[in-house]
Amino acid sequence: MIVVIDYRTGNIRSVMNALRRLGCDAELTSDPVRILSADHVILPGVGDCSEAMRNLRESGLSDVIRKISSPVLGICVGMQLMCRRSEEGGTEGLGIFPTDVVRFVPEPGLKIPHMGWNSISNLKSELFNGVDEGSYVYYVHSYYPVMCDCAIATSIHGTEFCGALKWNNFYGCQFHPEKSSSVGTTIIENFLKL
């Protein structure tokens, strides 16, 4: 069973549509029992990190997520929530990934938010089986996870940052695999094989 966590934020429809295109029967739920018994869990997210974390805490799901033993994939803000903290709203995260989320520093010629296609490199995980170094994925974000030892992909937008993270059974993509064409489809398929 594939579960997409429903916590009133972001890109739920596009994630559900991507899973349907793959022929997957995914369930959108906020039920802790369903989440903890799932074979694969996706934590989507778009928008303000502080509001998303408030929604998780109010629903009691922040504690549930830490207890998941099956593979978990956080997408965009979903991944940022699993970091220690974010500069956006001074948000304390779940502390799963040992890194912080910071805002891109404005500089001449650097567009913020970072929106559009960018390449990923330094691919280090089974999440990227069949994905070539330098492949392009789709980003929409103004904040990013600082480089750390659990980075499994990197990108550059003014500075190098974590494009994807892994810690035990938890994975995260700062980019949107559900919007990243065939490369994103491969990444989602690889996640569902874990």
Instruction: Indicate whether this model's pTM tops 0.75.
Output: yes
The tens-digit pLDDT sequence of the chain (194 residues) is 999 999 988 778 999 999 999 999 999 999 999 999 999 999 998 889 999 999 999 999 999 999 999 999 999 999 999 999 999 999 999 999 999 999 999 999 999 999 999 999 999 999 999 999 999 999 999 999 999 999 999 999 999 999 999 999 999 999 999 999 999 999 999 999 99
Please give the positions annotated as active site.
76, 176, 178
Return the amino acid letter for 162: C
Q: Which residue segments constitute the domains of the chain, with CATH numbers given?
A: 2-193 (3.40.50.880)
Calculate helix-pair angle for 12-21, 181-193, nearest 10 degrees: 80
Tokens of 36: 């903890």
Length of the chain: 194
CA 32 to chain CA centroid, Å, is 20
Which residues lie below 8 Å from residue 194, measured CB to CB, with a gap of 6+? 40, 71, 126, 127, 171
Tokens of 119: 């390449």
